[in-house]
């Protein structure tokens, strides 16, 4: 009899896909004073986000993520730290970033599909 190994999910929070019509801003630099390099969101959780950006972001660098839900057209700024960054086939980069504070549940619910 063969045993099937189950993968252990080590994530601290469940990831959710963005709701249709959601938009992202990813401003580089401290306090988001740099250019917007955000292209799209892959998924988001209470503790972090996975997104596509236009340029490589150094691990440990600070970014400011602006989450704009379809219900609220004013982006909610969230400071975050880049945890990893890998190139994609189309010349962009896939980035994982950890929020400086947990995302409020109401914003997570408005921004993502459950």
Residue 2 has pLDDT above 50, yes or no: no
Task: State CA 41 to chain mean position distance.
Answer: 6
**Cα angle: 105, vertex 19, 24; to 5 degrees:** 85
| pLDDT interval class at 8 (50, 70, 90) | low
Q: What is the pLDDT of residues 30-65, one digit of tens each?
A: 778 899 999 999 999 999 999 999 999 999 999 999
Beta strands in the chain (DSSP E): 23-28, 38-44, 48-53, 62-69, 72-87, 93-99
User: φ, ψ for residue 105 (rounded to 5)?
Assistant: -60, -40
Q: How many CA atoms lie within 13 A of 34 on its CB side?
A: 15
The pTM assigned to this predicted structure is: 0.85
d(C-alpha 104, C-alpha 15), whole Å:
14
* Domain boundaries, given as residue ranges, for the chain: 23-111
CATH of the domain spanning 23-111, picked from 3.40.109.10, 1.10.8.50, 3.40.50.300, 2.40.10.220: 2.40.10.220
Q: Is 103 left (phi over 0), alpha (psi -120 to 50) or beta?
A: beta
Between 2 and 7, whose confidence is greater?
Answer: 7
| pLDDT interval class at 100 (50, 70, 90) | very high
Between 2 and 78, whose confidence is greater?
Answer: 78
């Amino acid at each position: 009899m063969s045993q099937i190994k189950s993968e252990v999910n080590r994530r601290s929070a469940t990831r959710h896909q963005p709701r249709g019509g959601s938009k992202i801003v990813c401003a580089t630099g401290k306090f988001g004073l740099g250019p917007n390099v955000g292209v799209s969101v892959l998924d988001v959780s209470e503790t972090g986000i996975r997104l596509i950006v236009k340029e490589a972001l150094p691990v440990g660098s600070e970014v400011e993520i602006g989450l704009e839900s379809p219900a609220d057209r004013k982006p909610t700024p969230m400071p975050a730290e880049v945890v990893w960054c890998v190139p994609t086939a189309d010349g962009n980069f896939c980035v994982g970033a950890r929020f400086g504070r947990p995302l409020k549940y109401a914003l997570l619910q408005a921004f993502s599909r459950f």
